[in-house]
Structure 1
Amino acid sequence: MSRLRVESFAISLDGYGAGPNQTLDNPLGLRGETLHNWFFPTLTFNKMIGKPGGTTGIDEKFASRGFNNIGANIMGRNMFGPIRGPWKDEDWKGWWGPNPPYHSPVFVLTHHAREPIVMEGGTTFYFVTDGIESALEKAKKAAGGKDIRLNGGTSVIRQYLSKGLVDYMHLAISPVLLGSGENLFAGLDLLKLGYSVKETVNGENATHVIIEK
């Protein structure tokens, strides 16, 4: 059975998945990029951006296994690109160039319809306008029994968590404080929703926590 998985989602010690004052030029907000300092040195990240080398320790182990057995992806529109409102410029096809790192169908949550975009390497972006549960249903059909990766951002993960739809969550807790921004857990009672901590591992640059139902 397909599971909905959050993988390699970085948060600060005070629970923020993005910093304050997010802008189109700085979508992660002030100091938001520091959340991902654990990921940038890894072999997995370097492969994604076409660079050789990278670290091969515990952080890499968690980064790489997040791509195992993934048959489809879900993400919010803000993660797909900086464009807001109606699609005035349909030339935008994501941050990742002609061959995105997903290699499977990606369902983008949006309020504005758009035709699917077929990319190199097996990635096709589909734009879902009728809610998170519809996107999950479509992703399960497309995944063919494999799991679905919920890529974020923070508000999208919160929506799925609030309905108890996330089956597995890998959080990379970075040793930084953001103070404000988008908090992943504010107002959510994970215990009442049926979640518990299954594993905690200290990596080189982050603490990796596995939460499951």
Structure 2
Amino acid sequence: MTKVTAQMSVSLDGCYTGPRDPRGEQDMTGWMRGPEAPGFFRVTRWAVDAMAWRERQGFAGGEQSADSEIVAEMFASAGAYVMGRRMFDAGEVPWGEEPPFRAPVFVVTHRPREVLERRGGTSFTFVTEGPERAVELARAAAGDKDVAVAGGGELLRQVLAAGLLDRLDLHIAPVLLGEGQRLFGPGLGLGPGEGIELAPVRVVESPGVTHVRYTVTGRSALVLDDRGASGELVGPATTGQ
């Protein structure tokens, strides 16, 4: 059964990139000089060093490791991708004529554009009807494989808020960025006293990153913990205080 999955590399304090560039949309050269790039490349260093990632990009070298196996698994399981327009704009030039996806990619955007065909099986279809429609089209294109939400963070929040995400893989780099664009927070569409529950199903550790897989189990009401003696409310835990 096709699942909607997402992969995201984050710092220990939850940032997937540095602070948003105040200059607005930039070409790739401008983005590389801006405040976002240093944080982004720090949290994704584990992937860039992996042999499977480098092979997919057409580069030599890299390490054959648990991280490389994670990357290979990620590509093998995806039959179609969904991504945001900002990510596409940043990647269009460096991905070149043969992008690493090798599958249909559906780009969520407000700016229509003709389908862009690339070598190796990658096509970019620009969807102006929102993330729900993009996921619907990707499901139809994925066959018996998964739909992978390829980023960025804003799109992932929208997909999660809409209840479309089945599985989330977080790749947690052992670094504190202090400031940057955080994956979670406002924008999840949660009401007062409501949360989105996730169940951890796999943890893979390596020296440069910890890979945690979660199944998204859905929204639930948050309740006070009244398991104390005589039905009295239990105060805040003191561990670590």
What is the TM-score normalised by the length of structure 2?
A: 0.78
1:62-81 counterparts in 2 under 5 A? 62-81=70-89
Larger radius of gyration: 2
Q: Which moved more, 1:106-115 or 1:26-35?
A: 26-35
Distance in 1, Cα, partners of 2:39 & 2:128 = 31
Q: Which secondary structure does the structure 2 equivalent of 1:67 belong to?
A: helix
The residue aligned with 2:4 is: 4
The partner residue of 1:196 within 185, 195, 199 is 199
Deviation at 1:145, TM superposition (A): 2.6
Asked if 1:212 is matched to 2:215, the reply is yes
The partner residue of 1:31 within 8, 33, 39 is 39
The residue aligned with 2:63 is: 55
The residue aligned with 1:162 is: 161
Distance in 1, Cα, partners of 2:67 & 2:110 = 36
1:84-95 counterparts in 2 under 5 A? 93-95=92-94
Percent of paired sites with the same residue = 36
Deviation at 1:95, TM superposition (A): 3.0
Distance in 1, Cα, partners of 2:115 & 2:6 = 24
Paired residues of 1:75 and 1:109 also in contact (CA < 8 A): yes
Paired residues of 1:18 and 1:154 also in contact (CA < 8 A): no
The residue aligned with 2:219 is: none
Paired residues of 2:79 and 2:144 also in contact (CA < 8 A): yes
1:92-111 counterparts in 2 under 5 A? 93-111=92-110
The 3 A distance-change label for structure 1 pair 129 and 123 is: same
Aligned length: 202
Structure 1 gaps, min length 5: 83-91
Q: Can you list the C-alpha shifts for 1:163-195, whole angstroms capped at 9, x where unaligned?
A: 221111111101111222221111457x83232
Asked if 1:149 is matched to 2:127, the reply is no
Paired residues of 1:80 and 1:94 also in contact (CA < 8 A): no
Structure (1 or 2) with the greater helix fraction: 2
Q: Which secondary structure does the structure 2 equivalent of 1:149 belong to?
A: strand
What letter matches 1:18 in structure 2?
T
Quick one: higher RCO (CA 8 Å, sep 6+), 1 or 2?
1
Distance in 2, Cα, partners of 1:156 & 1:21 = 15
What is the TM-score normalised by the length of structure 1?
A: 0.87
1:127-142 counterparts in 2 under 5 A? 127-142=126-141
> CA RMSD for the aligned pairs?
1.9
1:167-182 counterparts in 2 under 5 A? 167-182=166-181
